[in-house]
Amino acid sequence: MSGPVDHPAHYTAHPRGIECIDVVRTLRFTLGSALKYLWRFDLKGRALEDLQKAQWYVRDELALRQRMAFRVVPRPLPEVAGIDRRARNLDGVEVSCRDITAAMPGAVGLAFALIWDAEFAFADTERLVRADRLIGDEIAARGQRE
């Protein structure tokens, strides 16, 4: 079935045919929600609001990680920047972060990639802090235009 409930256009409009849910269902709730709002931010006519929601989820994840920092045993983590992380949908189709962000404007695409990478490096908050700044810059730029 296709339509506004099962497959809304703002989640299925990616030029590669990738659907948002196939990516976000593989992530933690807060990071998946942030990516969902970045995915659709320019497609529903509420770009500024969607960017603000994405930023809220990034900040919520940062706060969670800070609260849990004393529970996480630090261990050396491989550098994940530049690695093309992949997700597999329920049909077994593999998509990569590069596939998704290729259709996104620069700063938003980079924020998306940083958030995706943060999923794989829980003890590292630097990527989320950078994503938060990028989204904040985009909010400021769009706020001045609207």
| pLDDT at res. 92 | 66
| pLDDT at res. 115 | 86
Global confidence as pTM: 0.74
Contact 55, 135 (CB under 8 A): yes
**Domains identified in the chain, total number:** 1
| pLDDT at res. 91 | 65
Question: Over the stretch 8-17, which tens digit does the pLDDT of each residue have?
Answer: 666 666 667 7
The candidate with the shortest Cα–Cα distance to 133, out of 81, 66, 65, 55, is 55
Tell me the C-alpha distance between 17 and 24, whole Å.
15
Domain encompassing residue 44: 9-71+82-145
Residue 76 lies in a domain: no
What 3-state class would DSSP assign to 78?
A: coil
Residue 55 lies in a domain: yes
Question: Over the stretch 42-63, which tens digit does the pLDDT of each residue have?
Answer: 888 889 999 999 999 999 999 9
Residue 53 lies in a domain: yes
| pLDDT at res. 73 | 45
| pLDDT at res. 138 | 93
Reading phi first (left if > 0) and then psi (alpha if -120 to 50, else beta), residue 18 is in: beta
Question: Over the stretch 115-138, which tens digit does the pLDDT of each residue have?
Answer: 887 877 766 788 899 999 999 999
Residue 2 lies in a domain: no
Higher pLDDT, 22 or 93: 22
Residue 113 lies in a domain: yes
- DSSP assignment of 40-86 equals HTTTSS-HHHHHHHHHHHHHHHHHHHHHHTTTS--------TT---E
Contact 135, 58 (CB under 8 A): yes
What's the gap between Cα 103 and its chain centre?
A: 14
Question: Over the stretch 59-113, which tens digit does the pLDDT of each residue have?
Answer: 999 998 887 765 544 444 344 444 456 666 556 667 677 777 777 777 888 888 8
Tell me the C-alpha distance between 48 and 68, whole Å.
30
